[in-house]
Amino acid sequence: MIMEGHSNPKPKKRQLSLPDKIVQQVLTMSDTNISVLTVTKLARALEIDRSKLSRAFSKQKGMTLEAFILKEKMFRAAFLLLAYRDMRVKEVAERFDSHLARDLTRG
């Protein structure tokens, strides 16, 4: 029930934590940008100590930041392999990270 003369309080926007901001940023990056992303580069861009950044991310998300970045690269590579059946595994892997080639196969 709304009483005249009283306004409804607007819900407060929840501030995102640093790990949540990182997840949001990584998920919206282009394939080109994520292909060269490292924890060190991310820490430099955020002007925060790499170790502090990694600890904060791991504590809240239950996985290392390195693992999260690799998981996102793998997800995008797998999507390309499914979407573009004519692309070679090596070509897709090298697009994101040359180390992915050993981890990707067409099953």
> Which is more confident, 88 or 99?
88
Question: Averaged over 90-106, what is the pLDDT?
Answer: 68
Write down the pTM of the prediction. 0.75
**Residue of 6, 22, 36, 16 lying closest to 65 (CA atoms):** 22
Q: How confident is the model at residue 10 (pLDDT cuts 50, 70, 90)?
A: low
Angle at 100 between CA 98 and CA 102, to 5 degrees: 105
pLDDT on residue 90: 76
Query: pLDDT (tens digit, 9 = 90+) per residue, 18-34?
Result: 999 999 999 999 988 88
Judged on CB neighbours under 10 Å (0-12, 13-18, 19+), 59 is exposed
Query: pLDDT (tens digit, 9 = 90+) per residue, 35-60?
Result: 889 999 999 998 999 999 999 999 99
